[in-house]
Amino acid sequence: MNLGILAVGDVVKKTTVAVLLLILTILLTSCYLFEEPDPVLNAVIAPEQGHIPYVAQIVATAPPGQFTFTLPNATIEQTDPVLDVVVDSIAWSATVSWTDGSIVKTTTVTATASNPRPVIHRPLINGIASQWFLKPREQTLINCSYRPASMTSPTTGVQYDDAWSIREISVMCSEKLLCNQPIRDSVYCPPYQTGVYHAIFNGALYENACIVYPTSTFEPASSGLPYAPAPHEGYSYDTIQNRSVFKQIAFPAQTAIIRVTVRDNFGRLTSAEFEIPVLALPFEAIDEESANDGSGIAFSDAEYFVASKNETIYHQAWCYRACLIPEASRIYFAESRHAEDSGRTLGPYCAISQAGPCACTGVDLNCEDFASQLDAQACFEYCRSLDYGDVHGLDADNDGVACEDIP
């Protein structure tokens, strides 16, 4: 009997514990089920894309509370979850924050522009739509202002529905090369203002334009700007000496590249290139004496000098060191005395009497043929500058140093 009573008691105890555990589980579950969920903040901008500037709406969804809209140029606090905005930049964004006084939530909305970039049509030459050629040495207006097509002429200039400006106009002729890179024509924007492209031509001022003298490159004046072949406001004009680098040079008919770079009101840069024929220049008479001479010098035989804007030495054009100067840093001189007047001295790497530090064809040179490592290095770099590469095999380990074992 006692055993039976004990067994029943154990069952009762176990049942009681199970019931209590069940009740506790139900209570805990009820607390979890009825706990307030964490608030969620969502926000969108509509429309997300458009032609800037355009009106849009930021719409936020969250429980009632305080909204803070942090825009590119303002911060707005309100209880209304909807805000009208003006999207006025290419990549526009805003931060939306919500708070109920204790919890803070933040998200971001973005919008983008659908504004097309400027369309660059070919420039207008000398104000004549039908003229699509350049005359060597002749003062020429290159005008990039927009002019729509007519029955007799094509569209010219830069087409864009907002503010824009010329960042660069350059002219490069196909037969005027140094080390297989173009020697740019000198460009003038009178009256000169830093970063501004405009030009006075035939007494009128044209915006987004410049003046060139095709195939002409002029020495730099002390201002860093090229000398002008005719009086131009803001440029040096030498009435005694002609500061043209290529005097009496004969050019065949060739092709020029006119490159135009435009900056729009959003800071985007857009470029375009146009090929244009350049008429032949069989001879240039720079004065009465040369006019009676009868012939000009071929460009391949031209003698001129090259320097870097940032160095105090200069070189003859055939010197391999000229090829090592980046094209954007090169400046040119017609005569050595002009280079000397600029405060520069002739570089010690190439002598004026030399045709080059060595022959790149017709002979086979070895390291023992050079008196010093510098002589071997000069030959190595010279032949490379002429696109022969390491024709003599002076750089055995291809580290750019020739004949390293020579003192």
CB 257 within 8 A of CB 249: no
Please write the tens of the pLDDT for every residue from 6-21.
455 565 566 665 656 6
Residue 238: alpha-carbon gap to chain centroid:
33
Q: Confirm if 215 and 281 have CB atoms less than 8 A apart.
A: yes
Lowest mean pLDDT of 3-17, 141-155, 289-303, 373-387, name the range. 3-17
Q: Which residues of 168-194 are buried (b: 16+ CB within 10 A; e: fewer)?
A: ebbbbbebbebbeebbbbbbbbbeeee
Q: Computed over its alpha carbons, how large is the radius of gyration of the chain?
A: 38
What's residue 29's pLDDT? 58
What fold does the segment set 42-113 form as a domain?
Immunoglobulin-like (2.60.40)
Mean pLDDT calculated for residue range 31-54? 83
Question: What pLDDT does residue 316 have?
Answer: 87
Res. 291 pLDDT band, cuts 50 70 90: very low
Identify the residue whose tokens are 């405060």.
343
Report pLDDT for 10.
62
- Nearest by Cα to 156 from 167, 164, 148, 166: 148
Question: Per-residue pLDDT tens for 331-347?
Answer: 999 999 999 999 999 98
pLDDT band at 285 (very low <50, low <70, confident <90, very high): very low
What pLDDT does residue 46 have? 96
| 159: three-class secondary structure by DSSP | strand
The predicted pLDDT at position 262 comes to: 98
Confidence of residue 396 (pLDDT cuts 50, 70, 90): confident
Q: Report the SS3 class of residue 279.
A: coil
pLDDT of 49-67, one tens digit each?
999 999 999 999 999 999 9
Identity of the amino acid at 351: A
pTM listed for this prediction = 0.71
pLDDT at 6: 46
Are 113 and 88 within 8 A, CB to CB?
A: no
Q: Is the Cβ–Cβ distance between 217 and 184 less than 8 Å? A: yes
Other Cβ atoms less than 10 A from the Cβ of 321: the count is 22
Mean pLDDT of 284-309: 69
Q: What pLDDT is recorded for position 351?
A: 54
Both tokens assigned to 282: 């069989």
Looking up tokens 């790497």, which residue turns up? Answer: 349
Sheet holding 209-212, edge to edge: 124-125, 140-143, 209-212, 187-188
Q: What would the mean pLDDT of 251-271 be, rounded to a whole number? A: 95
For residues 362-382, average pLDDT: 84
Check if the beta carbon of residue 403 is closer than 8 Å to that of residue 376. yes
97: closest CA among 39, 56, 54?
A: 39
Q: Does the structure show a pLDDT above 60 at 119?
A: yes
Query: How far is it, in rounded angstroms, from Cα 316 to Cα 304?
Result: 6
The reported pLDDT for the residue numbered 290 is 46
C-alpha span between 344 and 261 (Å, rounded): 33
What's the pLDDT at 35?
55
Whether residue 406 contacts residue 367, with contact meaning beta carbons closer than 8 Å, is answered with yes
Output the average pLDDT for the chain. 87
> Does residue 248 contact residue 284 with C-beta atoms inside 8 Å?
yes
pLDDT, position 383: 83
Pairwise pLDDT comparison (324 vs 404), residue with the higher score: 404
Measured from the Cβ of residue 82, the count of other Cβ atoms closer than 10 Å reads 10
CA-CA distances (angstroms) from residue 25 to 15, 18, 21, 345? 15, 11, 6, 96
pLDDT at 372: 82
Higher-confidence residue of 27 and 175: namely: 175
Q: What is the 3-state secondary structure (H, E, C) of 350-379?
A: CCCCCCCCCCCCCCCCCHHHCCCHHHHHHH
pLDDT(293) > 70: no
CA distance 407 to 348: 19
Percent of the chain with pLDDT over 70: 86
Quote the pLDDT of residue 41.
96
Name 266's Cβ contacts closer than 8 Å, sequence gap at least 6: 52, 89, 90, 113, 115
Beta pairing partners, 315: 306
Average pLDDT in the 172-176 region?
93
Cβ neighbors of 228 (< 8 A, separation 6 or more) are 188, 190, 218, 235, 236, 237
State yes or no: pLDDT of 76 exceeds 80.
Answer: yes
Which position has the token pair 């135009």?
Answer: 260
The string over 90-106, giving b where at least 16 C-beta atoms fall within 10 Å of a residue's C-beta and e elsewhere, is eebebebbbbeeeeebe
Asked if the model's pLDDT at residue 259 lies above 50, the reply is yes
Q: Is the pLDDT assigned to residue 215 strictly greater than 90? A: yes
Peptide bond into 229 cis (omega under 30): no
Please check whether residue 248 is in contact with residue 286, taking contact to mean a CB–CB distance below 8 angstroms: yes
